[in-house]
Structure 1
Amino acid sequence: MKNFKWFSLVSGSIFILIGILCFLFPLESIKNMFILIGIFLIFNGILEIFVFQKLKEIINFSRFWSILLGVLHILTGLFIIMNLEASFVVLSYILSIWFILSSISNIYKATPLEKSNKLYHSLSILLNILGIAIGIILLFNPFIVIVLISFLISCYFIIFGLSHIIYALAK
């Protein structure tokens, strides 16, 4: 048990260091994350094409779909790795459009419960208008999305590291 606590202390410290590095170097952090996503997609595409072909008889899944999905995964992974900047921009636009559309949808989907409670209804409308505004800001400044994602990743690593250290120091 003592070795496990030392491991938690060391791993927690490493997570905090990674979080600080992600905060200090946001673009490099995002580039590395995208490269890992690209590698994962390529690996998943290879699995889809070759490994899942072997399972075709068991799961009764069409070979065509398995090959198509595998090729799409591989091509997407290669696109991400070879076009990191374009991938950042595409992700930024997808997120901004998602924020705008989901906020508009939420305004139109105001529930009867919201309408019966004026404060809740007003707050819901206000928050969704804020969501639309954020989406529009992100749409015209995609760099903000990259910095925010890196910041959130940094915060997560630091929090995760602190929880490991707290566990290691607990009696």
Structure 2
Amino acid sequence: MNETKKFNWGYLIIGVLFLVVSFMSLNNPETNLLAIVMYVGFGAVAKGCFELFNRKTIPSLTGVGTNLPIWVGIIDIVIGCLMLFNLGISLAILPYVFACWFLVDSIHDLLFANVYKDINPPMYWFSIISNILGIILGILLLFNPITSAFTLAFLVGAYFMITGVTYIVAAFR
């Protein structure tokens, strides 16, 4: 099968943005938490727009029509806007926001991981593992909000690093 490889700039940009947030979070978590909230807010809006613009590629890749990318895109945009315009409240509810976001995105991406199964088996397994880690991080944040408030920068950094690398790898598929 002769298949043309395409480079996806949107995936690369989102991946790099997620890696920047990851490095900020891991570098100096105490002083950068507010900046992280703002960058993540911008990242969520950008990712939501990207999901909405690329929603038509899911049926062409899977052969199954779905509205899930539309809902994930809308949820990402709403979360991003809420984070940007309510910084004080965002800091207070940050563990819950991230928990829901990690869970929704990881479950969404896990459901569509089979797209890579025949095309790129290593990417398939990388996607499965990274999304399972995202679900675990989401559950940790959801059920231990006080503990996760202290370790949020590390957890966010780890999640965004995994997700950023996933998007960058996907950009070169």
TM-score higher than 0.5 here? no
TM-score (norm 1): 0.39
Larger RCO (alpha carbons 8 Å, 6+ apart): 1
Higher Rg of the two aligned structures: 1
TM-score (norm 2): 0.39
More helix per residue? 1
